[in-house]
Amino acid sequence: MSERGAIREFLLAFADDEHLMGQQHTEWIGVAPFLEEDLAFSSIGQDELGHAAMLYELVLELDGIEPTDTAVDTLAFGRPSHDYRCCHLVEYETKDWAEALVRHWVYDAFEAMRWHLVTGTSMPKLAAIARKALREEVFHTRHADALLDRLLAAPEARSRLLAALDAVVPMVPGLCEGTAGEAVAVAEGAAAGPTAGLLEPLLVAIDRRFSAAGLDGRSVGSACVGGPSAGGAANGQRGRTSRSPDFEPLMARMREVLDYDSEAVW
């Protein structure tokens, strides 16, 4: 893989994760537990979609395409599914708000680490986006932490959140899976290290976050190993080139209006 191609894959994975995570937050607007949460999810969703748009622009620039809104949308919505580089965690259709909250916390903990990987990147535009995003991530993490602090202290909520953790944790290795050629991108200075290097600190962070309230015998680390969707090659993401069963229905929903009339400008 060329150096440009390796950097492109790295950026595309980042952009696709942000896009689908933002998309998933939009599903919770108006149906969160109370009005303040509707507002929070909406605001966080906008931030993530904004990051996605800026990252897609960088991909387009690498491709030598002018990054207009139309070009961004073509890239964001118009690829065959095997050309997406998102992880299964952001494709996952949550079953309840507990899963949405746990995923929100886990994703944002990972996202902050990922942005830190690129604050010293050789790509000035990416570094600028990282600085902006990290300012926003402080609020995202604070939001999820504030809720978890209180909810984990309540017995029923705690048991729901631990069940949600059981659903989310097996997808964590996939979240930290890099793209093909990532070592080349790192060697080129696009990032300070590989995405896979974030798995260990992320698992430690998850354990610290949830074990304070007791994990009832769970081990966050071992939940990632050996399960049906455990990390690395075993989870079938193949360098983020495979899609989970939730991807196609999600993308069909996202594309419904676009597919109504391919000539249309909306």
Partner 1 sequence: MARSWATMEDFEAFLDGGGLVEADDDMPDAYRRAVFAFIEMHANSELMGALTERDWIPKTPGLRHKMAVLAKTQDEIGHGHLLYMIAADLGVKTRTQMLEDLFAGKSRFHNVFHYRAVTWGDQVAIAFLVDAAALISQQAVFKNCSYGPYRRILRRIITEEGFHMRLGEDRMMRIAEGTARQRGMFQESLDRWFWPALQLFGPDSVPDDELLRWRIKSERNEVLRDRWVQRFVPMLQSYGFTVPAPDLRWDTEAERWDVGPIDWEPLRRTLAQGGPDSARRIGEAADNWQHTAWVRAALSDGNGSGA
Chain residues that interact with partner 1, rule: CB under 8 A = 19, 23, 26-27, 29-39, 42-43, 45-46, 49-50, 52-53, 56, 69, 72-73, 76-77, 96-97, 150-151, 153-154, 156-157, 160, 253-254, 256-258, 260-261, 263-266
User: Measuring CA to CA, which residue among 179, 177, 176 is closest to residue 190?
Assistant: 179
Q: Minimum distance between the CB of residue 46 and partner 1, rounded to whole angstroms?
A: 5
Q: Minimum distance between the CB of residue 17 and partner 1, rounded to whole angstroms?
A: 14
Q: Minimum distance between the CB of residue 210 and partner 1, rounded to whole angstroms?
A: 16
Q: Minimum distance between the CB of residue 189 and partner 1, rounded to whole angstroms?
A: 28
Q: How many whole angstroms separate alpha carbon 184 and alpha carbon 191? A: 10
Nearer to partner 1, 49 or 230 (CB): 49
Q: Minimum distance between the CB of residue 119 and partner 1, rounded to whole angstroms?
A: 24
Q: Minimum distance between the CB of residue 96 and partner 1, rounded to whole angstroms?
A: 7
**Cβ atoms 223, 163 nearer than 8 A:** no
Q: How crowded is the C-beta side of 174, counted as CA atoms within 13 Å?
A: 28
Cα separations (Å) of 190 from 45, 69, 182? Answer: 26, 24, 9
Nearer to partner 1, 16 or 108 (CB): 16
DSSP symbol at 31: T
Q: Minimum distance between the CB of residue 264 and partner 1, rounded to whole angstroms?
A: 5
Q: How many whole angstroms separate alpha carbon 84 and alpha carbon 242? A: 8
Nearer to partner 1, 95 or 238 (CB): 95
**Cβ atoms 31, 261 nearer than 8 A:** no
Nearer to partner 1, 78 or 193 (CB): 78
Q: Minimum distance between the CB of residue 238 and partner 1, rounded to whole angstroms?
A: 26
Burial 19-57 (b: 16+ CB within 10 A, else e): bbbbbbbeebeeebeeeebeebbeebbebbbbbbbbbbb
Nearer to partner 1, 154 or 225 (CB): 154
Residues 6+ positions from 183 with CB-CB distance below 8 Å:
6, 194
User: Measuring CA to CA, which residue among 26, 90, 16 is closest to residue 51?
Assistant: 16
**Cβ atoms 100, 90 nearer than 8 A:** no
